[in-house]
């Protein structure tokens, strides 16, 4: 699954970072969007000695580097369009939906849960965290 998500990120022109969460963003390339992927759990189902199906469970985040002092929405008299939600989070929520559209008939998305992310890591990232469960299709 790591290879599949990395390929999608490259095709879309996103940065890609794979590994433990505490090591994310240590050495990133400069891109508008970056896909951070935590290690993925893989469950393998057998029929006899033959692999019949695989289910991948994991978390990824599609994030954009934001400005630290920007408000979330329209607080403090700012225009709503200048807040973190409109400038970064909404864009990431729309962009991350390219992942399911990029899966061919080889995979079925069983779960796709999105949570908004605000001001994460040292570089002040905003975007979306996705918890997924994806199965191979036979």
**CB-CB contact of 36 with 17 (8 Å):** yes
pLDDT for residue 121? 64
Q: What is the pTM of this model?
A: 0.84
C-alpha pair distances (Å), 80 with each of 55, 75, 76, 93, 135? 40, 8, 10, 17, 39
Torsion of CA 116, 63, 9, 28, to 10 degrees: -150
Q: How far apart are the C-alpha atoms of 129 and 138, rounded to whole Å?
A: 28
pLDDT surpassing 60 at residue 57: yes
Q: What is the pLDDT of residues 58-80, one digit of tens each?
A: 999 999 987 666 666 665 666 66
pLDDT for residue 106? 87
- Mean pLDDT, residues 122-136 taken together: 89
Residue 108: closest CA among 86, 68, 136 = 136
Q: What is the pLDDT of residues 71-125, one digit of tens each?
A: 666 656 666 667 788 888 999 999 999 999 998 788 999 999 999 998 776 667 8
C-alpha angle 67-90-34 in degrees, rounded to nearest 5 = 65
Query: What domains can you pick out in the chain, each with its CATH number?
Result: 2-136 (3.30.70)
Tell me the HSE value of 6 on the side-chain side, using a 13 A CA sphere: 9
CB atoms within 10 A of CB 64: 22
Q: What is the pLDDT of residues 10-49, one digit of tens each?
A: 999 999 999 876 555 545 556 689 999 999 999 999 999 9
């Amino acid at each position: 699954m790591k290879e599949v998500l990395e390929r999608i990120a490259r095709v879309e022109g996103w940065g890609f970072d794979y590994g433990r969460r505490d090591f994310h963003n240590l050495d990133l390339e400069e891109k508008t969007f970056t896909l951070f992927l935590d290690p993925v759990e893989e469950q393998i189902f057998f029929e006899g000695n033959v692999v019949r199906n695989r289910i991948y469970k994991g978390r990824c985040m599609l994030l954009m580097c934001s400005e630290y002092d920007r408000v979330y929405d329209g607080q403090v008299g700012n225009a709503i369009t200048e807040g973190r939600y409109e400038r970064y989070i909404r864009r990431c929520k729309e962009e991350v939906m390219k992942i399911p559209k990029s899966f061919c008939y080889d995979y079925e998305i069983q779960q796709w849960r999105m949570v908004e992310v605000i001001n994460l890591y040292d570089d002040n990232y905003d975007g979306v965290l996705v918890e997924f469960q994806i199965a191979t299709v036979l």
